[in-house]
Amino acid sequence: MKINRKIGIGLFWLVGIIMAAIILLHYNPAAPQQAELAKKLISVGVIAFACTAFTVWYDKITSLPVELFQSRHLIWKLAKNDFKKRYAGSYMGALWAMAQPVVTVLMYYFVFDKIFGSKGPELRSGVEVPFVLFLTAGLVPWFYFNEALNNGTNALLEYNYLVKKVVFKISILPIIKIIAASFIHVFFVGILLVLAVSYGYYPSVYTLQLVYYSLCLFIFVLALCYSTCAIVVFFKDLSQIINIGLQIGMWATPILWDLGSLDSKWVVILKLNPLVYIVNGYRSAIYEQQWFFEDFFSTMYFWIFTVVLFGLGTLIFKRLKVHFADVL
């Protein structure tokens, strides 16, 4: 066990040092030097903090991923059952899960495109992207995030009868909900690709990045849910706060509007929202033909933020776990 611990800590520090070296060596001649230096110093500082925290709380942080890996077969089985159970007894079944997002997209398209005449952004080639494609590429990841966060947050409350069982690993409950939400997300990614083809944007090697950005979103919302699902057991109002936050977050994320149309100082502030990286990534994969590593600092920021969030979520979940059964 001590050897494994040393290896794990060593590998984490090695990855951190490599990331810090890449950040320090990265050079963008088009960017202001002071701004670049500030980004580098902040990024390296966060990496150093994450590595130190990982070393101190190694056992608590790694116990959760190990539990998930050991229970991977059970997780997959329960995720499929959860998805089927949600629409059991209804005539249309899983079609209801697809109906609301489709109606939402059509409503936004009709209002912003047909009534207000909103235009999509202009690519570097000078071609204007159809607004409905621009809109759908932003809504698809947002729908996934919305459903996964809500369901993952309430996972312990919904499965409270399992929480009270001593032998059951309750740490798998949030990921079950998120995987169940992924089934519908795959369907909508397919719809997005069909829509892109109808406008002449055919799949290319860049389209493969949809897998990468979906994985980014999956890990990010999972990291977030381990905090929210633990806190909501003791503070039920958190669910309502999250719903309000999602309404605000939709307008704070460039889904209905283009980030490139804003002043640079606002762009820097809004990019602190990790979902900006995801939404822009889906659009890059569909029609912008841009690799994720071309936006270097956004990629580094997203993964540093997500890893730190996952570590905090793990600590919060483990700390409150012993009290779940008493409260529920």
pLDDT in tens, 39-66: 778 778 878 887 887 787 777 777 778 8
Which two tokens mark 111?
A: 């209002």
pLDDT in tens, 171-207: 888 999 999 888 888 888 888 888 888 888 888 888 8
Q: Is 1 helix (H, G, I), strand (E, B) or coil?
A: coil
Q: How large is the average pLDDT for residues 289-293?
A: 77
Sign of CA dihedral 156, 161, 165, 169: negative
Q: Is 128 helix (H, G, I), strand (E, B) or coil?
A: strand
Q: Please state the pTM of the whole predicted model.
A: 0.83
Q: Which residues contact 199 (CB under 8 A, 6 or more apart)?
A: 130, 133
Q: Where are the domains of the chain?
A: 1-56, 60-327
Is the pLDDT at 224 greater than 90, yes or no? yes
Q: Is 122 helix (H, G, I), strand (E, B) or coil?
A: strand
Distance CA 98, CA 192 (A): 13
Nearest to residue 44, comparing CAs of 16, 9, 12? 16
- Specify which residues 122 forms β-bridges with: 128
How far does CA 142 lie from the centroid of its chain? 9
